Amino acid sequence: MRNTRQQRLESSKRHSSNSVIITMNSGIWCRRALLMVVVVIMVTTACLRISNDEGKVRDDLPLDSLHDGDLVFRQGMGPESQAVLRLDSAGGQYSHVGIVINDNGKWKVVHAVPGESEKGIDRVKIEPIDTFFLSTRAEHGAIMRLKGCDITTAQKAARNAAKYVGIPFDYNYNWGDTTRLYCTQLIVVAYSSAGVNLLSDVPRLANRNSQNIIVFPGDIAINDSMRVIFKF
């Protein structure tokens, strides 16, 4: 009788332990699955967005005040942007980020984004800043600058980002792989190569395995080290 009770108790403990493991693994895979849903939505709506990109150009962008290395954030109007915002546990209001660079006297943005390729392959791209902020692409947006960052370092970060133009978008969101990049990864890598850690003040990313983290635009935008230059 005692053996039977002991066996039941041990079986219950094993079941409880397995349930915890399953729950933890399910949470991880659920998060990754949701990100893949975002990608699928982006790809399937790409043609619609490209054909309707004749949106209004903002005439209030502070072009005379921009610096190389400034970061540009936007919140899109599509379902994929809403999905990114829901996944962002930091509570950020932006679903995408890029970095500003002066290209032969014209302000442009280097960014990694899926669903906006005109040739069917999503890559890191460079485009005019007014295109980045077209009314069909940005419901809300902001331009921010890293506090205390000298112009030389910021320029280096912008040039670092430009070196990645043309490499594929990372649909696996693998932080440890820089042969493919997603939007926030591109920005962090560009500044890291210039000697600046943009994630040093992000509590939720502390003591995390760099292979497993997923960084959202909100992680950078709400950082105390960022100063808002322009917002709409």
pLDDT digits (tens, 9 = 90+) for 103-137: 999 999 999 998 887 778 899 999 999 999 999 99
With H, G, I as helix, E, B as strand and everything else as coil, classify residue 83: helix
* Structural domain count of the chain: 1
d(CA 131, CA 129): 5
Residue 32 lies inside a defined structural domain of this protein: no
Dihedral (Cα; 132, 136, 141, 146), 10-degree rounding: -10
The CB density around residue 21, as the number of other CB atoms within 10 Å, is 10
- Residue length, the chain? 232
Residue with the larger pLDDT of the pair 157 and 38: 157
How are beta strands 106-112 and 71-75 bridged, if at all?
unpaired
* CATH code for position 92: 3.90.1720.10
| Residue 70 within a domain | yes
Exposure class string for 204-217: b at 16+ Cβ within 10 A, else e? eeeeeeeeebbbbb
Confidence of residue 79 (pLDDT cuts 50, 70, 90): confident
Indicate whether 202 pLDDT > 80. Answer: no
Q: Contact 138/209 with Cβ under 8 angstroms?
A: no
Is residue 95 domain-resident? Answer: yes
Answer whether 79's CB lies under 8 Å from 41's CB. Answer: yes
Tell me which residue of 170, 164, 167, 168 sits closest to 182, measured CA to CA: 170
Q: Is residue 5 part of a domain?
A: no
The predicted model scores a pTM of 0.78
Return the pLDDT at 131: 97
Out of 85-89, 200-204, 218-222, pick the least confident.
200-204
Amino acid letter at 29?
Answer: W
160-200 tens-digit pLDDT: 999 999 999 999 999 989 999 999 999 999 999 999 999 88
- Over residues 93-103, mean pLDDT: 96
DSSP 8: H
How many percent of the chain have pLDDT more than 70? 72
Does some domain include residue 120? yes
- Tell me which residue range forms the domain holding 193: 46-231
SS3 110: strand
Of 159, 58, 183, 149, which is closest to residue 101 (Cα–Cα)? Answer: 159
Per the domain annotation, does 11 fall within a domain? no
- Report if residue 127 sits inside a domain: yes
Within-domain flag for 4:
no
pLDDT category, 85, cuts 50, 70, 90? confident
